[in-house]
Structure 1
Amino acid sequence: MYNWKKMLIVVLLISIGVGFEYGESHTRVHAASSSKSNYSIVQKPTDPPKDKPIQVVVSDGGKFCYGPIFSGGESYIQIQQCWERYVMNARYDVFQRISYYINDTWLCITAPGSVIHGEENWDYVHLRPCTINDPLQRWIVKENSFWTADGNYRLKDTNWYGYISRNSGDKYNHTLDSSMNDWVKTVATPGNISIKLPLLGICKLLMEMNVSLFVGEVRIKILHLSTTILKVDILHSIIQ
């Protein structure tokens, strides 16, 4: 019975997105597509990070930098002079996340779900705890600027704050400065590999399995019945 329940825990973890291994070797995992029913996993090493401030060229030709700021209980990306105090190094990692290490926590630029899901015409991007399975945190570089991973929404600025809009003609566009080319091409090691878990479903299943979880170090942020678990050390015991 003990081994059977241990196996169920493993299956549970795999089902919520932990389908890869990431250890001291800092490897990058790709699923190779195939016409056959089976597939192979190819592992390639990531590059050493080349963290630096994100420098952009705004619509009037001036050069500025992204600065993560916090105001009124919310976080934003503000376009600032590159010498200003809020400008800090950023990382573009293997998971296509744009991340900042702030107060011992990796925070990623996150697109507003309200715009993606058609609830709002536009909204600001924010900083949220980085996870590897949140599509709102994935960004690609297209036309020398950041776009959501689906290629539909460009990261723009209005009143010097970063935002996305459902109207591609909205102002203002900015592009990455040429000094960012090497940074973009670097397949950087991620700062963390946290995952976003559906809290209620996981707890219910574990209760049905009579499994007690002892969480060592956990930071939890509840977002629409989901939790972002940043650091988790799990020691399990089975209640007979």
Structure 2
Amino acid sequence: MFLKKLTLLHEKISTYNQYPFTIPAIKNLTELNLTSNVTFFVGENGSGKSTLLEGIADKCDFNTAGGGRNNYYDVHAAGSDLGPYLRLSWLPKVSNGFFLRAESFYHFASYIDELSIENPSVYDAYGGQSLHEQSHGESFLSLFKNRFGGKAIYLLDEPEAALSPQRQLAFLKILHNLTETGECQFIIATHSPILLGYPEATIFNFDEEKITTIDYEETDHYQITKYFLQHRDKMLHDLLND
């Protein structure tokens, strides 16, 4: 592990009446201690999990449109409003890593294609070919398998967006291989009950007034999925005939 703690600098905030401090989980954040090589952020859309992940990426000097420290391209509205108000505590600090934004990955793939015009070897870190020439899921796995490694921190925003259930399981194996040596740290915002099942991970819930840890079996993702699989007919009947 490298990133040990993040702190919201309340003394820098002039008003809580504007985004992102109108989000309860962000407004009430003081410190968040990270104790696992794999940390998950969970919560409904708009709960602040992606906002915080983006803020961490900003403080790591990663491209907040997606990428690492040396990836320079722009995507509209991809900046971080929270980053300037965060302090990250490291032991030791690392500069290597990557921020994956599923929603802007297409733009990142196009950026890599532009770089390849002058330097075709840039594809070596992405499976040896353009990410656009691979399926969406294949391109994500190529990134995880080839670009990720070494002493680094990886911030992933909804990586399951491009992954089938089978490929989510493949990603869990990659995650295990990268973290078992202690050289990689992951913070992942996700809605996937499959990914959340990764053993010994810390899960932070953003759905309450404050960010709290939660057990896997207590997450809505697990409970709703389990209930649906066990009571599909009843649940669909109640939902569709309400």
TM-score, L = length of structure 1? 0.24
Q: Which protein has greater RCO, CA pairs closer than 8 Å, 6+ apart? A: 2
Q: Which has the larger radius of gyration?
A: 1
Structure (1/2) with the larger strand percentage: 1
Higher helix share: 2
TM-score by length of 2: 0.24
